[in-house]
Amino acid sequence: MKTSQPDIIVTSQDGEYLMLVEVKLKDISIGAQNAIEQLKHTMASIGCSVGLVVAGERVILLRDSLEKYNGESIYVVGEAQLPDSLLPLADEQWKGLPEIEFEARVQRWLEKLKLTASMESFPSDLKNLLGEPIISLLRMGEVRAGGPRWSKVAK
């Protein structure tokens, strides 16, 4: 499997990958499963131990226990619902491009999570899934696109 670029990355100040995020507009089980497998492969190839798949209104957390090589120890921790109401409004720049617009909204949501300490408005399953360890990674790192979004438009 060819290593692809994740949609969103969280990196430390010295460039270490803290978290990789794969975003899919729709939560189709085959698409989500493909996204999980792709993210596992990417996590293993670049040495990142935490990953998120956001597929429609579902968030899936992956973690590498680092017990085995080649991503064999990467497992799904759990999943939770991500209500659309928690995502920021769309950026005008990506209007008419639903996949990229959704990706940008997810990135802005992660950036907002980094800055706000409160998860009170979150459903309990999402609070439990993300918890303090994931929020701490977001606070330590810089949330940014994994690559230029305009290049996806040109494909």
Domain-wise residue ranges, the chain: 8-145
Query: What pLDDT score was predicted for residue 16?
Result: 95
pLDDT per position as a tens digit, 29-88: 777 888 899 999 999 999 999 999 999 999 999 999 888 877 889 999 999 999 888 888
Q: CB burial class (10 A; 0-12, 13-18, 19+) of residue 92?
A: exposed
Average pLDDT over residues 13-42: 89
Q: Write out pLDDT tens, residues 91-103.
A: 787 778 888 999 9
